[in-house]
Structure 1
Amino acid sequence: MFRFLVASVGREAADDCFQETFLAALKAWPKLRAGSNERAWVMTIAHRKAMDHHRARARRPVPVEEVPEVAVHDAPLADDETWARVRALPPKMKAAVLLRYAGDLTHAEVAVALSCSEEAARRSAHEGLKRLRAQMSPT
């Protein structure tokens, strides 16, 4: 298993992953079914600890010599009239539009937040946008 961890995460991180693997195995040992393949079980834990290591490493910042000066350009804020129209939408449409576009959630995430189906969330957002476009179109 240690060779697997060295190959997966490198020599320096293998020690930590090895320890984490056995701590997790000791904690889960009472739940192991009789007749299970212990070697495969521990290797599965080691594989998951290696994946955890890679995920954690991907979240760490990378040091650089110089931080480039980058201008930050925020998107222009919508006018108060637009937000007033959004607030005037029926509750379900308003929630769907705000979660989908202001909150940048997927339709599936909006559905979970609103306790409805994904199709219903998609439809509420669509109908809300349709209503807003109709109110804002120059006719």
Structure 2
Amino acid sequence: MTGPPKPPPGPIPAEWRAELEDCHRQHVGWLKGYVFLLTKRDRMLTEDVVQETFRAATAAWGRLRKLEPGPLAGWLHGAATNKTHDHFRDDERERRHQPAVWQRFYQPPQQETWRLALTEAALEQCWKAIERMPPRQHAVALLRWRCGYSYREISRILGMNEKTVSVHVSNARRMLAQEVGPYLPFDLDEPEGGASS
């Protein structure tokens, strides 16, 4: 179970400790729910991301403590989204070692090796483009194409209406198509409905 964030090394004012504990009490519930959906219901990863998010908040508390509740929640939301994305990206890097083993033992034709290399390069370009998107569009793109959620599910997770989700998806699709072109490694024009579990 995720407890209150631990303070960074060094002295921390007593009032900051109380504020951090209060921040944790107020935000940990919805943040866990959001990250749980973002990680496709991976409980262990959810715990890790939430703990990392509150650890980052503790380190930045001198600045964050001045924020109103809404902007503070927005900061936590953004930090959690980015940390989840970091875990996704680490998973992708780990998978890159597998094709080398596959090629060594099964010796695929040269064109398959090239296709694999192009797909990996295009996928990396996609994630870099998604990282540069505005925060809400970034979150929608991750939920849609990394997690496979439907517009309705994304609407519920992010607290926005489905039409707004659709606009974000369209804008994200246009940006990715411009940046990656015909080398897109996944179908951006899939029928609405997404895969969910």
Q: TM-score, normalised by structure 1?
A: 0.43
- Greater C-alpha Rg: 1
| More helix by percentage | 2
Q: TM-score, normalised by structure 2?
A: 0.31
